[in-house]
Amino acid sequence: MAKWQCGVCGYIFDGDEAPANCPKCGAPKEKFQQLDDETASKVDRSRYTNGLHMELFALLEKAKEISENGIKDALDPACVQIFETTKACATDIQQRIKAELKTHMTKNKWG
């Protein structure tokens, strides 16, 4: 599908033609420019990757929950160590995902 970018706020609209007004900032249709194929495909790939990040983030959240249950259960030190390490790694990766997604948004571009 064709993609149109608002020249005022950068919002990207998917459609055969530009919207009458920008859904984000209200700018009129004339402010929209159609993205070329290469840029449009970058937008799609970026959305896909962002989705993967979100999926991974949710899985890590689950891993943290499981680890916390294991830490509470505290059967023996070796088990607790595994759960603590898992929880720490999951937290670390989640923070990296957040930072990376923030970078995508400020770089602009494909928001």
| Shortest separation between residue 22's beta carbon and Zn ion, angstroms | 3
Residue 27's SS3 state is: coil
Question: 63: which 2 tokens?
Answer: 């891993």
Count of residues in the chain: 111
Among 6, 18, 35, 60, binds Zn ion (CB under 5 A): 6
79 membership: H or E segment, kind and range? helix 77-106
| Shortest separation between residue 20's beta carbon and Zn ion, angstroms | 12
Q: In the 8-state DSSP scheme, what is residue 31?
A: G
Give which of 95, 66, 59 is closest to 82, Cα–Cα: 66
Residues 10-69 interacting with Zn ion (rule: CB under 5 A): 11, 22, 24-25, 27
Closer to Zn ion by Cβ: residue 27 or 89: 27
| Shortest separation between residue 6's beta carbon and Zn ion, angstroms | 3
Positions that interact with Zn ion (CB under 5 A): 6, 8-9, 11, 22, 24-25, 27
